[in-house]
Amino acid sequence: MTKARTNASASPAVGRNIIINGAMNVAQRSASVTGIGAADGYFTCDRWEIDVAATSAGRLTMTQTADGPNGISANCIKLDCTTADTSIAAGESLRLIQKLEGQNLQRIGKGVAGAKQITVSFYVKASGAFTFGCELFDNDNSRQITKLFDTTTDWVRQELTFPADEDDGSSPFADDNGLSLQLAFFLHAGSNFTSGTLETTFANNTSANRAAGIDSFFSSDDNNFFLTGVQMEVGPVATEFEQEDIGVTLAKCQRYYYRPTTAGDLTGNTLGQAFSAAGVVGSFVYKETMRAAPTISLFSIGNGTAGQIRKTSDGATTSSAAAANIGLNSFGFATGMSSLTTGDAYDLTFTADAEL
């Protein structure tokens, strides 16, 4: 006899978690980055972006840390405030976000009749008792909703169910590879985002309502914030955190970012042949088909310097290398140089970035 799952009608048994790398197990770029807070960026755990509005004086270190809750994930994201900011300007904000493609969200049916509820669950702890915000922001229709959650010094699973949003009945998520929805953890905000009242249903965006009632992560340089086991699923119930094979998670992450070498290691390389003084032709292939044609950064194997490639025979480097003919699966050329030796072999490594 089979036993029906509580949320079976809304959420599949496998692949129900819409979030990628919710267990924080993949960090292709780096395990730890300091001095974050001046600009947006992807720094450590794949798919998780630090997003800032008007720049705060606050700074943090972001780390993939082996301190996850037992039985859920060995890893978590740790944010460690290193410079406090107690004078919060109106336009400041700090969010830890994941941006999602519309074509991965069609199961929600948002914006049309029959739209479904969304449940977000996650494991969180902090250096003390804080109230932060968990926001869903619909980029296609500029609608949002935020729910507050509290932290303690111990891991706690938060389970937040967001109401269905039929909107005007004709505003679905675009079924394409563009940005449709952000899951955001609002950790710091000025009055531009806090002076209103939280919406209780999805509503057209009013900035002042987005983070009303949250505390500031930057209130003290003693503050820490830990997050893992993030799951977003269709329906009103937070099911058990979905465990995923590391190879599956890595492949999902590599749709958005790929580096053939591990962080700080330039032992992996690709090889091409100069066809003129200006360019090298090669087969520079990504591991996965990427979301969109990616931004390429070229690096010399020899010294890791950006924009350089290396002559294989003698190790001499050449600057001003740019990638060309960049596609979804590979790029074909390194060009823009002026002193290559036609016919000689050159090696290089690269990163490919197709984040939203």
Partner 1 sequence: MDNVMIITNAKYIQFDSVNCTVQATIDGQYISAPMDPANRHYAEILRQVDAGTLTIADAD
* 72 is an interface residue for partner 1 by CB under 8 A: no
Q: Where are the alpha helices (DSSP H) in the chain?
A: 191-194, 246-254
- Other Cβ atoms less than 10 A from the Cβ of 137: the count is 22
Distance of CA 222 to the CA centre of its chain: 25
| Coil, helix or strand at residue 106 | helix
- Closest CB to partner 1 among residues 205, 312: 205
Sole binder of partner 1 in the list 86, 325, 339, 342 (CB under 8 A): 325
Integer Cα distance of 118 and 182 in angstroms? 13
Integer Cα distance of 209 and 142 in angstroms? 13
* 62 is an interface residue for partner 1 by CB under 8 A: no
Sole binder of partner 1 in the list 177, 219, 312, 330 (CB under 8 A): 177
Name the amino acid, one letter, at 167: D
| Contacting range for partner 1; rule: CB under 8 A; set: 77-85, 113-121, 242-250, 320-328 | 320-328
- Closest CB to partner 1 among residues 18, 52: 52
Retrieve residue 295's tokens.
């931004």
Are 335 and 278 contacting, i.e. CB atoms less than 8 angstroms apart? yes
| Contacting range for partner 1; rule: CB under 8 A; set: 114-122, 126-134, 236-244, 331-339 | 331-339
* 216 is an interface residue for partner 1 by CB under 8 A: no
| Coil, helix or strand at residue 82 | strand
| Contacting range for partner 1; rule: CB under 8 A; set: 3-11, 37-45, 152-160, 221-229 | 37-45
Are 51 and 95 contacting, i.e. CB atoms less than 8 angstroms apart? yes
Contacts with partner 1: how many residues (CB under 8 A)? 37
Using only C-alpha atoms, the chain has a radius of gyration, in whole angstroms, of 22
* 115 is an interface residue for partner 1 by CB under 8 A: no
By CB under 8 A, what part of segment 257-296 binds partner 1?
279, 291-296
Interaction pattern, residues 91-110, with partner 1; x per rule: CB under 8 A: x-x-x---------------
According to DSSP, the residues that pair with 81 across neighbouring strands are 60
* 323 is an interface residue for partner 1 by CB under 8 A: yes
| Coil, helix or strand at residue 218 | helix
- Closest CB to partner 1 among residues 99, 116: 99
| Contacting range for partner 1; rule: CB under 8 A; set: 14-22, 46-54, 228-236, 246-254 | 46-54
Integer Cα distance of 33 and 27 in angstroms? 11
Positions that interact with partner 1 (CB under 8 A) = 39-41, 51-55, 91, 93, 95, 177-178, 279, 291-298, 306-307, 322-327, 333, 335-336, 353-356
